[in-house]
């Protein structure tokens, strides 16, 4: 597997979602800053966001979801070339955090194994059948 394939491998399904988040991190010379950024895509293990600052791979940050006021620790795994004044930045949560995004109907692979109930599985199956234009099974 190439390095690029390894970088693009995902452990949970990606959802295209633009959410305003706050990044708190330490910059050069120990200067601590807090800036607003916007996600491009998210999953249970992290995501990609457009940051107004350039960070480096391995840099520690705290991500805050202002809608829920939840905070989660993360680190930068990739920084792409700047685009329109922002830096596309891939990040990974310290621990899987599928509930951080407050998605009402997350992909089934976001559900922690012990959380999968008969009702949850039925709801996901019904949604996938509906979204695929199929009929709901009884």
pLDDT digits (tens, 9 = 90+) for 58-116: 999 999 999 889 999 999 999 999 989 999 999 999 999 988 998 876 667 776 544 44
* d(C-alpha 9, C-alpha 26), whole Å: 28
* Residue 112 CB burial class (10 angstroms; 0-12, 13-18, ≥19): exposed
100 and 112 part of one domain: no
pTM of the model: 0.71
Where in the sequence is the domain holding 79, given as residue range(s)? 3-104
Give tens-digit pLDDT for 50-60. Answer: 999 999 999 99
Query: Are 59 and 119 found together in one domain?
Result: no
Q: Within this chain, do residues 73 and 135 fall inside the same structural domain, yes or no?
A: no
Do 121 and 90 share a structural domain?
no
- Please check whether residues 22 and 63 belong to one and the same domain: yes
Q: Which one, of 113, 50, 114, lies nearest residue 79 by Cα?
A: 50
In the chain, how many domains are there?
2
Q: Are residues 23 and 82 in the same domain?
A: yes
């Amino acid at each position: 597997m190439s390095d690029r394939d390894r970088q693009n491998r995902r452990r949970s399904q990606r959802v295209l979602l633009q959410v305003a988040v706050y990044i708190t991190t330490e910059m050069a010379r120990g200067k601590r800053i807090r800036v607003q950024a916007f996600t491009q895509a998210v999953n249970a293990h992290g995501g990609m966001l457009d940051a107004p600052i350039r960070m480096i791979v391995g840099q520690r940050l705290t991500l805050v979801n202002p809608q829920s006021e939840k905070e989660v620790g993360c680190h930068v795994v990739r920084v792409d070339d700047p685009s329109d004044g922002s830096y596309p930045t891939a990040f990974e949560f310290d621990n899987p955090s599928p509930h951080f995004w407050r998605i009402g109907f997350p992909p089934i692979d976001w559900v922690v194994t012990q959380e999968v109930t008969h009702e949850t599985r039925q709801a996901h199956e019904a949604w996938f059948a509906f979204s695929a234009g199929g009929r709901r099974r009884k």
